Structures are given as C-alpha cells and as structure tokens.
Amino acid sequence: MPTSKAETFIAALHRLEEAGDLDAIVRLYADGAEVSNATDASAHVGRDGARAFWSKYRAAFERVHSEFRNVVESESAALLEWRSDGRTAAGQDFSYDGVSVLEFSGGRIVRFRAYFDPHALTTGGAKKEAARHLTPTAEARGTTPGEQRA
C-alpha cells in the first residue's frame, strides 16, 4: 500500500501503463490542475485535461513501463527521476529518461510537469511515431521536436 503522495502517483502510473487504468491516475488531480510535459505548447487543465494528457500518453505506446530511480518528496512537492522502456504503438522499441515535478495542495496534484529530451525516445521510426502522439505541434509542422524544416 502506498504511503506517500509520490508512491500513490507511481502506483497509479503503473496501473495506467500495465492495465490502461486511466481513472486511477486522473482521480489524483485537483479540479484546476495543470498537466504538461516538455513537448506541450500549453498545459492541459483540470481533471479533464489530466484525462486527455494521460490517455494520449498511454495511446502512444503498445507497452510501456517506468522505473523510478530517485524520489524526493516534501509536503507540497515531489521530484521523480525515471526511465521508461517499451514499444511504441507502431511497434518500435524505445527507452528514455526524465524527471517529473509534482506539486500538491490539499492532498491532490495541482501541477504536473515532465521533463525529458524527446529525441532520446529512440531513433528513426519510433521517435517519429512517439513524437506524433506526444507532440501535436510537431505533427502540425511536419517535423519532430528539434527538427527544422529547410
């Protein structure tokens, strides 16, 4: 049984990754929460925003599993260092590292932000497939994050 807010988040993320249980993670968020990662142009807002964010995250992968190497937590925040491995929805293996920052108020997540290098997902088709799911702004430009059109 999780004993801290960070452990509760990690357990909910594992339920999402392993069983597609979206409700377990969404219920952790406050009504006006902001949810985003390094590829978002703006934050997703509220529980509906959290649902959209995590639904899109899970849909990007055929399978995904995150391992947490370092967790630092206070009453109002948690920093989670992680590595995620798996296979994209297009069938390409990937592995990437990052850090997530969670801010809490009243026992709920009020802000979630994940930091990672989108290029580190992998190379070639997997990177482009993951970028297509995780970065709508790159798809609209016809590039992956960090690429520039000539």
- Tell me the CATH class for 5-139: alpha beta
- Half-sphere exposure for 149 (CA within 13 Å, toward CB): 6
Whether the model clears a pTM of 0.85, i.e. scores above it, the answer is no
pLDDT digits (tens, 9 = 90+) for 31-64: 999 999 988 889 999 999 999 999 999 999 999 9
pLDDT digits (tens, 9 = 90+) for 99-136: 999 999 999 999 999 999 877 665 444 455 455 556 54
The letter for the amino acid at 114 is A
Range 81-97 average pLDDT? 93
- DSSP structure class, residue 143: S
Domain locations along the chain: 5-139
Q: Provide the pLDDT for residue 137.
A: 45
Going by C-beta distance under 8 Å and a sequence separation of 6 or more, which residues neighbour residue 140?
none
In percent, how much of the chain has pLDDT > 70? 78
Residue among 150, 114, 149 nearest 35 (CA):
114
